[in-house]
Amino acid sequence: MVEKKKWLPRWFYQLASPRWCFQICGKLLPGFSVAALVLLLGGMVWALLFAPADYQQGNSFRIIYLHVPSAILAQSCYMLMAVAGAIGLIWKMKVADMVAKSCAPIGATMAVLALLTGAIWGKPTWGSWWVWDARLTSMLILLFLYLGVMALNSAIESESTAAQASAVLSLVGLVNIPIIKYSVEWWNTLHQPATFKLTERPAMPADMWVPLLVMVVGFYCFFAVTLMLRLRNEILRRERRSGWVRDLLLSK
């Protein structure tokens, strides 16, 4: 007999087990929490006290250290939600559905933070809280997509139907991600172009972008923490009838 070759690594199948996922998240949580705390605190002190002021924008430039990480995270979180939704649709993997569901509220708050800090930054820089600019509008659409996914999840009673519907919505909404990314190039906008590009060095000096990078990494660690917290809740809730959750509850 020829053993059928697995074309996906072992951990991918293990991830499908809610119990294994619950445990691995519990093990990863402390490390990510410490990393997020150190990076965010250090990054904020660096951003507020030590980064130089911009020669045109003055100190309002320091808003970038919250605005860019939250905007990046809002988009990454959306992509994760859509990919997890697709995995849930294709492989009927319950954990993937739970990841997708847990992503939505986090991404929504990140989109709100990016929009609000952008508005606050826009007032002293552009003279207006809001303009119907391509970047701003596509980001607002991202927020509405998150809200739509959350609404679908809470409106549909059957968990599997809710997961399917929100996965389809998030996959359709994926078109918005490249629109956000290229909006500053395709349209004439007020919004400045991206700070970080994969192919080029940042246009700003290192003592400005290094703390920004610290904040971005810190936001990703924070995202991992809050996602795992939500995911563990979701696993407990849906697996409440299984033996291991009962044992866990009794042992507490």
Partner 1 sequence: MSFNSFSEFLSMGGHGLYVWLSYALGLSVILLNLAAPLMERSRLIAQLKRRLQRENQSP
Residues in contact with partner 1 by CB under 8 A are 40, 44, 48-53, 58-60, 62-63, 66-67, 70, 105-106, 109-110, 112-113, 116-117, 120-121, 123-124, 222, 225-226, 229-230, 232-233, 236-237, 240, 245-246, 249-250, 252
Tell me the closest approach of the beta carbon of residue 41 to partner 1, in angstroms.
11
Tell me the closest approach of the beta carbon of residue 120 to partner 1, in angstroms.
5
Given its phi and psi angles, is residue 196 left (phi above 0), alpha (psi -120 to 50 degrees) or beta? Answer: beta
* Closest to partner 1 by CB, 50 or 132: 50
Tell me the closest approach of the beta carbon of residue 185 to partner 1, in angstroms.
26
Tell me the closest approach of the beta carbon of residue 58 to partner 1, in angstroms.
5
What is the spatial distance between Cα 51 and Cα 43, in angstroms, rounded to a whole number? 10
* Closest to partner 1 by CB, 91 or 129: 129
- Calculate the alpha carbon distances from 116 to 56, 131, 139 in Å: 21, 13, 11
* Closest to partner 1 by CB, 84 or 219: 219
H-run or E-run covering 221: helix 206-238
Nearest CA to 41 out of 195, 209, 222, 228 is that of 222
Nearest CA to 91 out of 2, 4, 20, 7 is that of 7
* Closest to partner 1 by CB, 198 or 250: 250
